[in-house]
Structure 1
Amino acid sequence: MKKLSLWLLLLLSTFVAFGQSKMACCQKTEPSATRRFAMLASNPQFRMAHLNPVRIRFQSSIGHAITYKTDDGTTANAYELKAKKPTRNYLLVIHEWYGLNDFIKRESEKLYNDLGNVNVIALDLYDGKVADNRQDAGKYMQAVKETRAQSIIKGAIAYAGSQAHLATLGWCFGGGWSLQTALIAGKKTVACVMYYGMPEQNVDRLKTLNCDVLGNFANKDQFINTKVVAQFKENMEKAGKKLYLHQFDADHGFANPSNPIYNSEATKEAYGYTLTYLKSRLK
């Protein structure tokens, strides 16, 4: 009888262990904010909402390409505008889903000129690939590996130096990565600007932010819609962080003049908010 009881107990524990392992393997890991945005590229409506851009050509006399080391043993590309005088202030710019193209370089130089004495580095999360149509843009965005993107960001933070004061800014794909860069930079972060990017939903992660956030969002955006933005606002409040939220009667991509749905009035207003915010934190 004693042996039978032990056998039954062993059998029962085996079934319990199997059940627990089965449940564990069947549980789905919640995709990250940046992954959720990248997954949108497989949605035909999302792709069609991004009209192919008008070609913009820009040649700078002060900006230049750079490379720097990354913690995965390789190097990354970027576009840098060095401050005229030595300063610890840096603005890290993250591109839209088309990649580090001439529009991003032009906007980086505009920010550089308008902010005053600040170093601007436009990161390249696509490792040299640039799209001029929505099909390629979708492929490149979906192909981004988060570990590689994080290595590129960490390399830029290290390039800026241990004493750097970092602000981040990005649009669309880069809007979400702007927030992630602010989180990765930790105590070095002094500002974060998001243009219609996917917000972080994990409140515990948001609690680690070292700065407040300025968000420029579009009310006509079907994907980073008003519901998503309202949830972000609520999550920031739960995390005890300040969100300066600006919402415009415009569509996703409104701030890009190469986008056929470009909205000049919304762009001007959003840029005004952005400059005021960044100047006050990059003193």
Structure 2
Amino acid sequence: MRLLLSGLLFAVISVTAQAEVQTKAVEYKDGETTLTGHLYWDDAIEGKRPGVLVIHEWWGLNDYAKKRAHMLAELGFVAFAADMYGDGHVTDKPDQAKTWMQEVTADVEGWRELALLGLEQLKASGMVEGDNVAAIGYCFGGATILQMAYANAPLKGVVSFHGALPAAPEEAKGKIGPQILILHGQADSFVAPEVVTNFRNKLDEAGANWEMNTYGGARHGFTNPDAASFGIENLQYNEQADRRSWERMQSFFTEIFD
């Protein structure tokens, strides 16, 4: 019996040691701009599985966005952290981040197409299971995945974490296929109450399938432990809102994926 238990323990340790999240950089192009995203997957999982696109905050594709993609791979998904700026653009300076963000968002169609390029890289991995694909985004990334939903991108669902809340346009009425989950901080002063009200009304008018969870006392950036380091009063980590929003995302994926 002792030998049997020892053998079983050795087998468990061996499997655990072999199970590891893998990552690789993926270069792709937006015109003349070189974009570099990062693909994450658990090599202990055999066969295809659902895929999740991750869109970064306005700082660029930094370690935080990559960390979330890694966490998704740990949950069993294939995750792709997309690059929305290109040419290695990452900063911790708000003015620079705002400039880069505005350059992207000034052209809504181009903004959506840029996000779709990231989705193409996820699907091209060869590990994604059919059309079982979703997208999540943080701050600027949250607005980005909403724009993807408004364009009826081939996604089962989108999840916005403390994102900007662009209203659904008139032309999106009856055409929003992805289910929408918004995870919002009640104390986020970047998003005025009237903006939230208009956002919700426009989703209703568009006939979208949506849900919005609001976390009392949570400010902008509530999922990022380093939020306060950027020197902006409205940026603050909230451990409870972070944990609850991540759990809600997981249950949402359970609902939408076949």
Structure 1-normalised TM-score?
Answer: 0.70
SS at match of 1:267: helix
Contact 2:162 2:183 (8 Å CA) reproduced = yes
Following superposition, the deviation at residue 61 of structure 1 comes to 6.0
Q: 1:272 aligns to what?
A: 247
Runs of 4+ residues over 6 Å off in structure 1:
none
Pick aligned residue for 2:212 from 245, 259, 280: 245
Residues 66-215 of structure 1 aligned to structure 2 (within 5 Å): 66-70=26-30, 72=31, 75-82=34-41, 84-87=45-48, 89-114=50-75, 116=76, 118-127=77-86, 128-144=88-104, 146=107, 148-159=110-121, 160=123, 163-184=130-151, 186=153, 188-197=154-163, 198-215=165-182
SS at match of 2:22: coil
Change (3 A) 1:136 1:257: same
SS at match of 2:227: coil
Structure that is richer in helix per residue? 1
Change (3 A) 1:69 1:135: closer
Contact 2:159 2:180 (8 Å CA) reproduced = yes
Q: Which runs of 5+ in 2 are unaligned?
A: 1-19, 229-235
Following superposition, the deviation at residue 153 of structure 1 comes to 2.2
For 1:232, the aligned partner's letter is: F
Larger radius of gyration: 1
Structure 2-normalised TM-score?
Answer: 0.76
Following superposition, the deviation at residue 75 of structure 1 comes to 4.6
- Tell me the C-alpha RMSD between the 2 structures: 2.4
Following superposition, the deviation at residue 252 of structure 1 comes to 1.1
Following superposition, the deviation at residue 226 of structure 1 comes to 2.8
SS at match of 1:125: coil
C-alpha distance in 2 between matches for 1:237 and 1:177: 19
Change (3 A) 1:112 1:227: farther
Q: RCO greater where, 1 or 2, for CA within 8 Å and sep 6 or more?
A: 1
Contact 1:88 1:164 (8 Å CA) reproduced = no
* 2:223 is the counterpart of 1:255: yes
Following superposition, the deviation at residue 217 of structure 1 comes to 0.9
Contact 2:221 2:237 (8 Å CA) reproduced = yes
Residues 4-43 of structure 1 aligned to structure 2 (within 5 Å): none
User: What's the % identity of the aligned pairs?
Assistant: 26
SS at match of 2:51: strand
C-alpha distance in 1 between matches for 2:256 and 2:227: 30
Q: Which runs of 5+ in 1 are unaligned?
A: 1-59
Contact 1:254 1:267 (8 Å CA) reproduced = yes
SS at match of 1:223: coil
Following superposition, the deviation at residue 78 of structure 1 comes to 0.8
Following superposition, the deviation at residue 137 of structure 1 comes to 1.7
